[in-house]
């Protein structure tokens, strides 16, 4: 394990950790990036062909042998890249040397692959009893479908999320949410295991899956079935249990409104000169039951003026509301920038890049993720020499 260090706060709260990232695609790389954002040293171990996502595009940046996938760039900042061919004895020995020094090893191979490469959990813990191992699979490491490969859209469907999303047909979320949630859950589990290690001195295996991530975010939709025996359908653009709460057309562009309490409903009625005691809509249950009629009533008002008029009026009335922004608008928005959600990095071949930043900040540190500087995603094998030199010097 890495030795504790006295580090300046802007290096990040995890700056004394060494993470070996053997994952590829998105779920595992996202988990490792979360720890890297917090200051951990993350060594991304890649095959000679590189992470699959290096070839996922367009769009790409650069030309020919310096071409970089924007997909890869989204999930691999704050990492070093080391190329190892784990089919060779020499590179397996180098990985073993790294394992002896690491705090965390992350992998998302199919069940059994790491064992066949010569690194079952038993050997990993022989090499390093304090090692925390994160294993991410598609559908879980055991059970009747453990051997299935994990792909985001398939997991969104199999895990029920697509049955809730959309208006006329099941629809996937616009980002690979099953992968991202598996990564977030994995990082959370790793930190819990690291905390436990401070008491026990021993690491453990943390397991999660794309399926677990999907089921884990069913929230009230899940208990509609498990408790109430009701199978939810497509939720569309309106909340299934609260009204009015959703997307409404105006004279120029759609806006969103969230009346999550009776006080907010009354405030909306006052702003629009409606009767809050109208028996059709007097309670939230009434409004949910007559949602279509309520939407038609509100949109008949909103059609008379552009979105900006209504957003200003609703803000003055204290009714939560907002526009639907495109991503270019989101990244240009001063509020986004004020939260440290854009990072400036210098890439080895592409020069200056702006990347979406960590969603976490700390109260005594203004930097995204708690570290003052961030490293661009690495080129394939960019740190081969420096990592080998460091290992030789440490040994």
Spatial contact of 107 and 114, defined as CB atoms under 8 Å apart:
yes
User: What's the CA gap between 33 and 43, in Å, rounded?
Assistant: 10
Task: Print the SS3 string covering 160-207.
Answer: CHHHCCCCCCCCCCCCCHHHHHHHHHHHHHHHHHHHHHHHHCCCCEEE
Backbone angles phi, psi at 314, to 5 degrees: -70, -35
Spatial contact of 193 and 207, defined as CB atoms under 8 Å apart:
no
Question: Are β-strands 132-137 and 41-46 bridged in parallel, bridged antiparallel, or unpaired?
Answer: unpaired
Backbone angles phi, psi at 200, to 5 degrees: -100, -25
Spatial contact of 306 and 252, defined as CB atoms under 8 Å apart:
yes
Tokens of 236: 């569309």
User: What's the CA gap between 7 and 3, in Å, rounded?
Assistant: 12
User: What's the CA gap between 257 and 275, in Å, rounded?
Assistant: 18
Task: State the CB neighbour count (10 A cutoff) for residue 226.
Answer: 9
Spatial contact of 2 and 17, defined as CB atoms under 8 Å apart:
yes
Q: Which of the residues are catalytic?
A: 239
Residue with tokens 């995204």: 368
Tokens of 176: 């690979």
């Amino acid at each position: 394990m890495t030795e504790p260090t006295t580090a300046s706060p802007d290096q990040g709260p995890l700056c004394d950790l060494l993470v070996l990232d053997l994952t590829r695609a998105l779920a595992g790389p996202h988990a490792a990036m979360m720890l890297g954002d917090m200051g951990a040293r993350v060594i991304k171990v890649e095959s000679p062909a590189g992470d699959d996502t290096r070839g996922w595009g367009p769009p790409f940046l650069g030309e020919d042998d310096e071409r970089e996938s924007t997909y890869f760039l989204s999930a691999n900042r704050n990492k070093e890249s080391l190329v190892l061919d784990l089919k060779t004895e020499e590179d397996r020995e180098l990985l073993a040397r790294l394992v002896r020094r690491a705090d965390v090893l992350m992998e998302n191979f199919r069940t059994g692959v790491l064992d066949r490469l010569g690194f079952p959990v038993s050997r990993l813990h022989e090499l390093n009893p304090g090692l925390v191992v994160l294993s991410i699979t598609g559908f879980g490491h055991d059970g009747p479908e453990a051997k299935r490969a994990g792909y985001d859209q398939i997991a969104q469907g199999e895990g029920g999320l697509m049955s809730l999303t959309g208006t006329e047909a099941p629809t996937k979320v616009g980002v690979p949410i099953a992968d991202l949630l598996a990564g977030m859950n994995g990082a959370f589990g790793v930190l819990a295991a690291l905390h436990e290690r401070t008491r026990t001195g021993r690491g453990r295996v943390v397991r999660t899956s794309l399926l677990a991530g999907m089921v884990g975010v069913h929230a009230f939709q899940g208990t509609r079935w498990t408790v109430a025996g009701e199978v939810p359908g497509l939720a569309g653009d309106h909340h299934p249990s609260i009204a009015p709460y959703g997307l409404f057309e105006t004279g120029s562009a759609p806006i969103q409104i969230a009346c999550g309490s009776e006080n907010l409903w009354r405030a909306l009625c006052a702003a629009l000169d409606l009767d809050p005691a109208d028996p059709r809509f007097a309670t939230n249950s009434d409004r949910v039951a007559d949602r279509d009629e309520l939407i038609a009533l509100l949109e008949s008002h909103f059609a008379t003026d552009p979105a900006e008029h209504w957003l200003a009026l609703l803000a003055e009335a204290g009714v939560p509301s907002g526009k639907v922004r495109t991503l270019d608008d989101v990244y240009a928005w001063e509020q986004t920038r004020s939260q440290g959600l854009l990072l400036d990095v210098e890439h080895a071949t592409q020069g200056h890049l702006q990347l979406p930043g960590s969603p976490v900040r700390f109260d005594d540190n203004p930097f995204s993720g708690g570290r003052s500087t961030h490293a661009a995603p690495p080129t394939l094998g960019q740190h081969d020499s420096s990592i080998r030199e460091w290992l030789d010097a440490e040994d």
